[in-house]
């Protein structure tokens, strides 16, 4: 199979646009909201999810013929849990500050429904190379949404834009003091939990408007 024929492009593109895991499949929302207070957290979380999603998809796709249907949930969970433990230990070793900030939410990648959902819906039915592309596409789709949400939450809530580095984050830009002096104020609500729900709701609305998609209720 050629790597970049139209079918594999579709496997990668669809989850980013018209079949986005967060805004259209409605999977993996828990972590999407919890780690979006700052941009750097969202970026690290995206990388962690892409790693786990691609590897779990490939592993499960390789062993898909040997998994009995009745116990597949337990097998999927143990594969995913092992991969997440690896990520957790790696973060603790190399990005300790970040792993403290993300606290339990790294562990909760296990129950991130995107990973179980894609394993169940795609990896158990397709070959490893396709499963890898599907994992990559869904990981990028997830990342796109949480990076947009965290960008708005951090910029308007805390007045900074932070990129990840080895320690506590590198502040790329912050709103100048002169703006505050002129009467500008941060929207404190965005840093709190309701703000996350509002921004994500609006992003979902915007994306559906953009692609002209709707949901039958």
Partner 1 sequence: MMNGLEHYLSIFTKAVFIENIVLAYFLGLCSFLAISKKIDASVGIGMAVVVVLTITAPINWFLYEFLLDKGALAWLGEDFANIDLSFLKLIVFISVIAAMVQLVEMFMERFSQSLYNSLGIFLPLIAVNCSILGGSLFMVEREYTVIETMVYGFGSGVGFFLAIVALASVRYRLHYSNIPVRLRGVGMAMLLTGLLSMAFMAFSGIDL
As beta bridge partners, residue 126 has none
Residue closer to partner 1 by CB (options 133, 204) is 204
> How far is it, in rounded angstroms, from Cα 73 to Cα 182?
57
Closest contact distance (angstroms) between CB of 90 and partner 1 is 11
> Of the two residues 33 and 48, which places its CB atom closer to partner 1 in the complex?
33
By beta-carbon proximity to partner 1, the closer residue of 163 and 202 is 202
Q: Nearest distance from residue 64's CB to partner 1, in Å? A: 19
Instruction: State the minimum distance, in angstroms, from the CB of residue 6 to partner 1.
Output: 28
The vertex-141 CA angle with 125 and 38, nearest 5°, equals: 135
| Pick from 87, 206, 101, 214: nearest CA to 148 | 206
Q: Could you say which DSSP state residue 14 is in?
A: H
CA dihedral 106, 110, 113, 114 (to 10 degrees): 70
Query: In the bound complex, what is the minimum distance in angstroms from residue 78's beta carbon to partner 1?
Result: 7
Which is closer to partner 1, CB of 21 or CB of 135? 21
Q: CB of 54 within 8 A of CB of 47?
A: no
174: β partners: 160
Q: Which residues bind partner 1 (CB under 8 A)?
A: 23, 26-34, 73-74, 77-78, 81-82, 84-85, 88-89, 103-104, 107-108, 110-113, 116, 189, 192-198, 200-202, 204-205, 208-209, 212-217
Minimal distance in Å, beta carbon 186 to partner 1? 17
Query: 163: which strand partners?
Result: 170
- The helix/strand/coil state of 171 is strand
**Exposed, middle or buried: residue 106 (CB in 10 Å: 0-12, 13-18, 19+)?**
buried
Give whichever of 60 and 133 is closer to partner 1, judged by the CB atom: 60
CB of 168 to partner 1, least distance (A): 20
The whole-angstrom distance between residue 197's C-alpha and the CA centroid of its chain comes to 16
Least CB distance to partner 1 at residue 43 (A): 18
The full length of the chain comes to: 217
Q: Of 38 and 130, which CB lies nearer to partner 1 in the complex structure?
A: 38
Residue placing its CB nearer to partner 1 in the complex, 18 or 81: 81
């Amino acid at each position: 199979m050629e790597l970049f024929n139209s079918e594999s492009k579709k496997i990668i593109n669809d989850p980013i646009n018209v079949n986005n895991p967060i805004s259209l499949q409605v999977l993996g929302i828990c972590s999407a909201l919890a780690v979006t207070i700052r941009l750097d957290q969202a970026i690290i979380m995206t990388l962690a999810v892409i790693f786990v999603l691609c590897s779990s998809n490939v592993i499960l796709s390789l062993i898909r013929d040997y998994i009995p249907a009745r116990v597949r949930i337990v097998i999927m969970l143990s594969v995913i849990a092992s991969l997440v433990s690896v990520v957790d230990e790696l973060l603790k070793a190399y990005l300790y500050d970040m792993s403290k900030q993300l606290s339990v939410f790294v562990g909760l990648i296990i129950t991130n429904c995107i990973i179980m959902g894609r394993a169940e819906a795609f990896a158990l039915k397709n070959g490893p190379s396709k499963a890898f592309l599907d994992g990559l596409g869904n990981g990028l789709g997830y990342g796109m949404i949480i990076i947009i949400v965290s960008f708005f939450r951090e910029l308007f809530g805390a007045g900074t834009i932070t990129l990840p580095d080895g320690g506590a984050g590198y502040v790329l830009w912050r709103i100048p003091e002169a703006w505050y002096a002129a009467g500008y104020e941060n929207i404190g609500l965005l840093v709190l939990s309701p703000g996350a729900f509002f921004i994500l709701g609006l992003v979902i609305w915007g994306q559906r408007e953009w692609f002209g998609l709707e949901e039958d209720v």
